[in-house]
Amino acid sequence: MDKINIFFRNDCFGLASTWCRVPNRMTSEENASNTRSDRANQALTQTFPVVTVHGEGCRSRTVRPPSTYRTILHSRDLLESGQFSNGCDGGECAANRVKELNSRCKFLTWEVGFFRTNLFLNICGCSDLISIASIVVAKFLIVPLTSLTFTRSETRKSPHQLGDTKMSAKAIREATGKNLINKHLSGETAAVQCRFASVDPDTKFAELVANNPWLKTEKLVVKPDQLIKRRGKLGLIAVNKNLDEVQKWISERMNKDQEIGAATGKLRNFIIEPFVPHKENEEVYVCIYSHRHADTILFYHQGGVDVGDVDAKAVKLDVPIGETVDEATIANKLLGQVTAASKKAMITKFVHNLYKLYVDLYFTYLEINPLVVTEKEIYVLDLAAKLDATADFICKPMWGEIDYPPPFGRDAYPEEAYIADLDSKSGASLKLTILNKSGRIWTMVAGGGASVIYSDTICDLGGAQELANYGEYSGAPSEQQTYEYAKTILSLMTQEKHPQGKVLITGGGIANFTNVAATFRGIITALVEFQERLIEHKISIFVRRAGPNYQEGLRRMREVGQTLGIPLYVFGPETHMTAICGMALGTRPIPQENNVEFATANFLLPSGEKQPNKQSLGQKGGADSASAISCTRKIQGGDSAGVQTPMFTNKTKSIVWGMQTRAVQSMLDFDFVCSRSEPSVVAIIYPFTGDHKQKYYWGHKEILIPVYKKMNDAMTKHPEADVLVNFASLRSAYQSTVETMEFPQIRTIAIIAEGIPENQTRKLIKLANEKNVSIIGPATVGGVKPGCFKIGNTGGMMDNILHSKLYRPGSVAYVSRSGGMSNELNNIVSKSTDGVYEGVAIGGDRYPGTTFMDHIMRYQADENVKMIILLGEVGGVEEYEVCNALKNKIITKPLVAWCIGTCAGMFTSEVQFGHAGSCANSNQETATAKNEALKAAGAHVPNSFDYLGDVVQEVYISLVSQGAIVPAAEVPPPTVPMDYSWARELGLIRKPASFMTSICDERGQELIYAGMPISDVLQKNVGIGGVISLLWFQRCLPSYVCKFFEMCLMVTADHGPAVSGAHNTIVCARAGKDLVSSLVSGLLTIGDRFGGALDGAAKQFSEAYDTGMHPAEFVNHMRNKGQLIMGIGHRVKSINNPDQRVKIVKEFVMQNFPATPLLLYALEVEKLTTSKKPNLILNVDGVIACSFVDMLRNCGSFTSEEAQEYINIGAINSLFVLGRSIGFIGHYMDQKRLKQGLYRHPWDDISYVLPEQYNN
């Protein structure tokens, strides 16, 4: 069945109102159109046998009209319109289909609803019926076809037709695929090298011809290279053309809009190839695609455009994972219809080598149609392929740089590339797909699963055509990363104005380990930066989030909302996850007050936990009994009513691979609050350090957990461990998991890493099946069994564990793909039932280690599980195994199920959702089809995710009323201390700091010098002097001051090797000491006698000047006291041999400083001292000291108190210390470069003065 969505614009609202019987919804103008609406209503109901109408404020109703199809279809307007979406011409085509329509119309159904002033219909039926239906609707509504939007979700018959469209498996251009074949296909085959030339808007044909001379000499084939299927049938291939004709053909289509199905996009990339003349019987079809347990090779001896249904025709050969296939098997199994022996041998060798290339280069899909096989050669004509992009770290040397084009109909935006680049450099997950740049509904959602649910809800509310983007951020991105992500979203939102304004939905589930406050800080920074543009574009923001430190994050968001000047609504876990979608789109009222549930601090004591809101999320009545009851039954280790051994018990012991201290402590805290007798983590494996012990907390008590370098040591010393939690990175997760399975004691492995290549995952699955090991993941947060065991960060922080009552078992077990959504399920289940018995997130990858059925069958066998919840997704077919089990009564317990991703069919181009497996490759894999199948099989399926909690509660209350569940009294959990670091993060405690600093902050994403980011320091070119002004004086000083600092450093850098500091440095260096020791030995000589005169000079001269002493009085005063005047005198220089350093500094200061009274005073003193002795000049120390004081007092940046304080604390001498350090380092390097040996002072330069011999 094909499916088409029709969205009618504003002028059709009267029709919706008429059908739905909604009172008080029409304006006077719309009432005037009732006649037209009634006529359209009658026409539609007469034309189609079943019209199901869904509208706001009314119940659905079904209309069964009389059988009067022929009259309407023979209408002149209809028959002469010629507007058939399947390409037929005029009334003749319609007339020819009338009889067929009469017999098949029962297969056509409608779903009708509206959002605000838009009417939308979903029509399901055969493609020819939909074509006619579209025209009937258009004609009888008297609405131009230009005001209709047709969104078609085409049927794809099998997964291999397009391969696995997901984050890991990405489609490549035909040119890229052929280039890989040219490079890596064995030369022993008869395959001819693929010659091709790629053309894009920037291509210069002269250069292209120069690089590919064959373009001028051969007949050519040209076609778009933009992931477009069935190009031949669409008329997008030109064959047997010369270069001029090809160039003209391309120019006519380059950057022109092309409509393919519902998608419209511009043609920008083309591929030109030599034309290969051949006969039709020389075309064959070859395809290789991957699935969970094998690779399948398809072969059909008749290929080409009209190959037809290859599923029914082609011969299949499955190659199990990890095995190879030989040429004999290929010939016998696949090539039975190939009669010519020579061709059979050629094809056999080609397919054998092609499959080897497929495996070695981590293809996930490779189709060649046609493959032309002549008498002596093989030509690859048309090719479609996908690579496992996550294998880039393995295959980069073989792949080179790969360009992954976007699906046709959706342009590649630079913003998408920017976020993809951020994602590639981060351990977190950042995704962005722009669907409609002009749309008014924008999302910024945390979590892969949550992001799909938000898109579902928006589309369910009629916002598909206005949904501007799909994206998600997860995996604990940093503040800077969320800032960059939010800034990108806001920049896109504010590029175009919308008459109704725009909305930003910043949603998310309950985080497991992401610090919500930290991520919100980045978002808030971006919001403040874009404040004016947000107001200009009339943007409203709706926020819903929960998880670690969410209270602080929501508080900050509310605070900034009061100053932004735009509507900003903030909600926490007390509000259903998707409720903000209805608020943003105007279908749900916005509550005036937000009843925030208990604060994080209250989890410290059991009595501090307030009772959560007893009304279930979205429920109406009867909730009190459901939320108040609980179950306190204990789970005994090893007990099971079923045949299978439980995966986790309260005696389960685990080993953690990776130094994940936070996750390990979280597991231990969970153990403690569950009243386990012993910790569940017995050892840690970390190959990058030696064996040691790591300190953790068990309640109030400190314990030591051993850390091992080698896995064998950990397994040998802890044979009781049967679970391994693998936090290894995507590069090492495969090898570490394989190594783990060498130890039979391990029965369960949880693989947390995302991005493991699919081939490696499939090998792990096969090995695990052979060794009877259960794998949870990859790409998972893990799972939880309340009262027993939790994997890593599952369940989030302790406040959420207590809030969701995960410290004791309930009666409900669930299995989900999404880790983030599993936490949301914990919340829903705790509010609607007596709690969770067990929950597992199998992971978002295409091939999870264990499937839904693996866990559901465990739940079925466990007598403690009374009901089961399944949260599936678009993509894959695992849910159909559950359907079959329900039909065959293998699953007998109540099953509540919902598959997210129902919005996928409403997009005009393919969208890859947050999880690697979240994309449908056939109608069977869509979320809508799965939900329908589950409902038909007997599962309890809600109308949408919004109502999941209601259905869960209804089933639960039914079980309680039947006596299947007996509620028990709630028992408070033990007190769990909070870590000091986290309590400080939450602002719950305070403690005097041991250190204080006011000049530098390295904690953020960027180093900050006294309030100036390091990027500004470099970009503004403040220089060393500017850095000194920031770090020494906490402010940006004028440029002439910075230049003065740099000049002082230069003139004080060195004064030769004879002075004490340089001498000491040289002696130390020659003694073989290191740089730091040698430098320190020189610096330690600086004092009153060497280099320390700057501070003394500043104090003496400034005190004399400030007290009003005449220079002569000052000189006489110092002489009478018997003290030297600091800064006056030099051993070598004199009035007749001036020091050039002094001259340069003095001239600069006199020219640039606004006032130099102290320097002028010192020069007057110099006149007096040099009149007595010519070498009593103002030296370098004196001129710098006096100039420094003048700077402090007259630059305008310091108060008189601050200036005096800097003089008193010795700031002036710091210039000499810093400057002379440059010279000392130079002397050290000079001695090392000269390779000078140990210094020994000569005897002849030592005067030995010994006491005379003692005489009695």
What is the C-alpha to C-alpha distance for residues 858 and 856, in angstroms, rounded to an integer?
Answer: 5
Domains 414-596 and 657-962 share a fold: yes
Q: How far apart are CA 881 and CA 870, in angstroms?
A: 12
Tokens of 1008: 């900050």
Q: Rounded to whole angstroms, how far apart are CA atoms 409 and 228?
A: 10
Distance between CA 398 and CA 1034 in Å, rounded?
Answer: 53
Please, what CATH class does the domain formed by 159-399 belong to?
A: alpha beta
Are 181 and 357 a contacting pair, CB within 8 Å?
yes
DSSP character at residue 741: T
The separation between CA 121 and the C-alpha centre of its own chain, rounded to angstroms, equals 34
Q: Where are the beta strands (DSSP E) in 56-185?
A: 61-63, 109-115, 118-125, 148-153, 169-172
Higher pLDDT: 379 or 877? It is 379
Work out the average pLDDT over 396-400: 93
Confidence check: pLDDT of 635 > 70: no
Of 333, 259, 261, residue with least CA distance to 297:
333
Backbone dihedral region for residue 1021 (phi beyond 0: left; psi -120 to 50: alpha; all else: beta): left
pLDDT at 308: 78
Q: Is the dihedral of CA 350, 353, 359, 363 positive or negative?
A: negative
- How buried is residue 1060: exposed, middle or buried, by Cβ count under 10 Å (0-12/13-18/19+)? middle
Q: Which residue has the tokens 């699906």?
A: 407
| pLDDT-based confidence at residue 609 (cuts at 50, 70, 90) | very low
State the sign of the Cα–Cα–Cα–Cα dihedral 179, 185, 186, 187: negative
836: nearest Cα among 825, 848, 821: 825
Give the pLDDT band of residue 644 (cuts 50, 70, 90).
low
How crowded is residue 322: how many other Cβ atoms within 10 Å of its Cβ?
Answer: 12
CA atoms within 13 A on the CB side of 993: 4
Q: What is the CA radius of gyration of the chain?
A: 39
| CA gap 358, 366 in Å, rounded | 8
Residues with catalytic annotation? 915
Cα of 1072 vs its chain's centroid, Å: 52
In angstroms, rounded to a whole number, what is the distance separating the alpha carbons of residues 151 and 910? 12
> What is the second-level CATH architecture of the domain 414-596?
3-Layer(aba) Sandwich (3.40)
Instruction: Give every CB contact of residue 336 below 8 A, 6+ residues apart in sequence.
Output: 315
* Structure token pair of residue 599: 């604060």
pLDDT at 977 over 60: yes
- Determine contact, residues 515/549, Cβ cutoff 8 Å: yes
Among the residue ranges 89-103, 1054-1068, 1201-1215, the one predicted with the least confidence is 89-103
**What is the residue whose two structure tokens read 């001379």?**
213
613: left (phi over 0), alpha (psi -120 to 50) or beta: beta
28-39 per-position pLDDT tens digit? 333 434 444 444
Asked whether the predicted pLDDT for residue 1005 surpasses 80, the reply is: no
672 has a pLDDT exceeding 80: yes
pLDDT tens digit string along 44-81?
444 333 333 333 333 333 333 333 332 233 333 333 33
Whose CA is closest to 448, among 474, 422, 426?
Answer: 474
Phi, psi dihedral angles at 539 (to 5 degrees)? -95, 135
CA dist., res. 159 & res. 1071, Å (int) = 75
Cis (ω within 30 of 0) for the bond into 809? no
pTM over 0.75: no
First to last CA, the chain: 127
pLDDT at 876: 81
Q: Which tokens in the block code for residue 491? A: 């920049």
In whole angstroms, what is the distance from residue 104 CA to residue 892 CA? 37
Percent of the chain with pLDDT strictly greater than 70: 81
Residue 634 has pLDDT above 90, yes or no: no
Task: Return the pLDDT at 906.
Answer: 62
Which of these, 859, 863, 861, 947, lies nearest to 897 by C-alpha position?
947
pLDDT band at 126 (very low <50, low <70, confident <90, very high): very low
DSSP for 140-165? HHT--GGGEEEEEE-----GGGT---
pLDDT tens digits, 481-525: 999 999 999 999 999 999 999 999 998 988 888 889 989 999 999
The residues that bridge with 299 in the sheet, in sequence order, are 286, 315
Q: Kindly report the CA angle at 446 between 503 and 571, in degrees rounded to 5?
A: 60
**Res. 261: pLDDT tops 80:** no
Pairwise pLDDT comparison (92 vs 569), residue with the higher score: 569
Band (pLDDT 50/70/90 cuts) for residue 372 is: very high
Is a pLDDT exceeding 60 seen at residue 456? yes
- CA dist 1220 → 77, 1045, 1062 (Å): 96, 13, 9
Question: Looking at residue 167, what is its pLDDT?
Answer: 56
Q: Where are the domains of the chain?
A: 2-153, 159-399, 414-596, 657-962, 1052-1234
Could you give the strand order of the β-sheet that contains 539-544, starting from the edge strand earlier in sequence?
A: 441-443, 502-506, 539-544, 568-571
Report the alpha-carbon angle 310-312-317, nearest 5.
75
Rounded mean pLDDT of 1108-1126? Answer: 92
Max distance between CA atoms of the chain, in angstroms, equals 149
From the options 3.40.50.300, 3.30.70.2190, 3.40.50.150, 3.40.50.261, give the CATH code of 657-962: 3.40.50.261
Residue 697: half-sphere exposure toward Cβ, Cα within 13 Å: 14
For 130-139, 830-839, 1208-1217, which range has the lowest pLDDT when averaged over its residues? 130-139
Q: What percent of the chain has pLDDT over 90?
A: 58
Question: What is the pLDDT, as a whole number, of residue 46?
Answer: 41
Strands (E), 1125-1197: none
Indicate the SS3 state at residue 530.
coil
List CB contacts of 881: < 8 A, sequence separation 6 or more. Answer: 851, 852, 853
> Cα 1030 to the chain's mean position, in Å?
37
* Closest residue by Cα to residue 957 from 629, 467, 697: 629
DSSP state of 884: H
Q: Are 459 and 527 in contact (CB under 8 A)?
A: no
- Please count the CA atoms within 13 angstroms of the CA of 396 that sit on its side-chain side: 4
| Cβ-based neighbour number of residue 775 at 10 Å | 26
pLDDT at 464: 87
Sign (positive/negative) of CA torsion 839, 844, 847, 849? negative
Mean predicted confidence (pLDDT) in 304-324 = 88
Q: Which residue has the higher pLDDT, 626 or 773?
A: 773
DSSP tally for the chain: helices H, then strands E = 46, 42
**Mean pLDDT for the chain overall:** 81
Mind giving me the DSSP string for 1190-1222? Answer: HHHHHSSSS-HHHHHHHHHTTHHHHHHHHHHHH
Residue 939 has pLDDT above 70, yes or no: yes
pLDDT given for residue 772 in this prediction: 95
Dist. CA 505–CA 457, nearest whole Å:
12
The 10s digit of each residue's pLDDT in 871-917 is 998 888 889 999 999 999 999 999 999 999 888 766 545 554 444 44
One-letter amino acid for residue 414 of the chain: P
Sheet with 445-446: strands ordered across: 429-434, 469-474, 445-446
The mean per-residue pLDDT over the stretch 631-645 comes to 42
Flag whether pLDDT at 630 surpasses 50: no
User: 21's torsion region: left (phi>0), alpha (psi -120 to 50) or beta?
Assistant: left
**Interval 578-592 mean pLDDT:** 90
What's the rounded mean pLDDT across residues 442-455?
90
Q: Please give the Cα distance from 1126 to 1106 (Å, whole number).
A: 17
930 pLDDT exceeds 60? yes
Q: Does residue 855 surpass a pLDDT of 90?
A: yes
| 401 has a pLDDT exceeding 80 | yes
Using pLDDT thresholds of 50, 70 and 90, give the confidence band for residue 981. Answer: confident
Give all strands (DSSP E) within 180-292, no chain letters.
197-199, 220-224, 238-241, 257-260, 263-266, 270-274, 283-290
Q: Which two tokens stand for residue 1143?
A: 């001259």
